[in-house]
Amino acid sequence: MRESLAQKKVRARAIYRILCKSYPNVRCELDYKTPFQLLVATVLSAQCTDKRVNQTTPALFKKYPNPAKMAQADVKDIQRLVKSTGFYRAKAKNIKSLSSKIVTDYDGKVPSKLESLITFPGVGRKTANVVLGHAFGIPGLTVDTHFGRLSRRFKWSKSMDPVKVEFEVADLITRKEWTNLSQRLIWHGRRVCHSRKPACGACPIAKYCPSFGIGEMDPIKAKLMVKVEADFK
């Protein structure tokens, strides 16, 4: 029988509660001290691991800690500092350009509105929502590859379009919980619900997951597949 929207909301709430219980101490896994540093780190995280970004940003932020200094930097020097994150030419160009825009249009301060953030080069809704949620405490749904994959496995959305996924999930979860949900879905996707073979036998959400059984079902084998904190450092 087809699940109604009301039923889907009830199941989404149940999944959210279990995620909160399973991951009570989630945090942004990118290292930063200011909204600007989080913005830059998130831009660098495209097609790159947070672990690699965190290895890269200390030297970058030591030399260029704020928008004014980054805007004045030689783009080739930024390229050198961020090369290990991949696509470094485009990322360096975008970081320098967005820094200049922050200085000229926003008096050197990162804006706290999504509509403003997505006008920056290299910044889409995902990056904007990361900054809003973690730097400013403004709820947002961060639809990265993990969020999208789990949303489809939970039958919250069928779409491969991150924007469509964002709006469909937004209808299921209370706005104030968007950032918390996003972070916990990402943690769960990285640790348990892997892309190729999820650890179904070790999943706390099994009871509410329509896709339960597509991965490793043996509890012992599944538990060995679960990634731990040390895997991300």
Cα–Cα dist 142/162, whole Å: 9
- Residues 190 and 116 occupy one common structural domain: no
- What token pair was written down for 120? 């920056």
C-beta atoms surrounding 84 within 10 Å: 13
Q: What confidence tens digit (pLDDT) does each residue in 162-177 have? A: 999 999 999 999 999 9
Number of domains in the chain: 2
Query: Does one domain contain both 73 and 119?
Result: yes
- Residue 228 pLDDT: 82
pLDDT band at 178 (very low <50, low <70, confident <90, very high): very high
> Is 90:76 a contact under the CB 8 Å cutoff?
no
In the prediction, which pLDDT does 194 show?
Answer: 96
Pairwise CA distance, residues 112 & 55, whole Å:
27
User: What pLDDT, on a 0 to 100 scale, did the predictor assign at position 83?
Assistant: 98
Amino acid at 42: T
Q: pTM surpassing 0.85?
A: yes
pLDDT tens digits for range 143-161: 999 999 999 999 999 999 9
One domain for residues 60 and 100:
yes
> Any known ligand binding at 203?
yes
Residues 163, 117 share a domain:
no
Average pLDDT, the chain: 96
CATH number at residue 172: 1.10.1670.10
Identify the domain boundary among 135, 163, 180.
135
Q: Is 48 annotated as a binding residue?
A: no
Residues 182 and 217 in one domain: yes
209 is in an annotated binding site: yes
Please check whether residues 52 and 20 belong to one and the same domain.
no
Based on the domain organization, do 19 and 40 belong to the same domain?
no
Question: Of residues 144, 155, 164, 221, which has the active-site annotation?
Answer: 144
Residues 13, 46 within the same domain: no
Share of the chain above pLDDT 90, in %: 95
- Domain span including residue 165: 5-26+142-232
User: Among the options 126, 218, 223, 227, which is catalytic?
Assistant: 126
Q: What is the mean pLDDT of residues 35-56?
A: 96
- pLDDT range class, residue 3, cuts 50, 70, 90: very high
Confidence of residue 27 (pLDDT cuts 50, 70, 90): confident
The reply to whether 144 belongs to the active site is: yes
Is residue 233's pLDDT more than 60? no
Is residue 230 pLDDT above 70, yes or no?
Answer: no
Residues 75, 10 share a domain: no
Which CATH number covers residue 91? 1.10.340.30
Would the pLDDT of 133 be above 70? yes
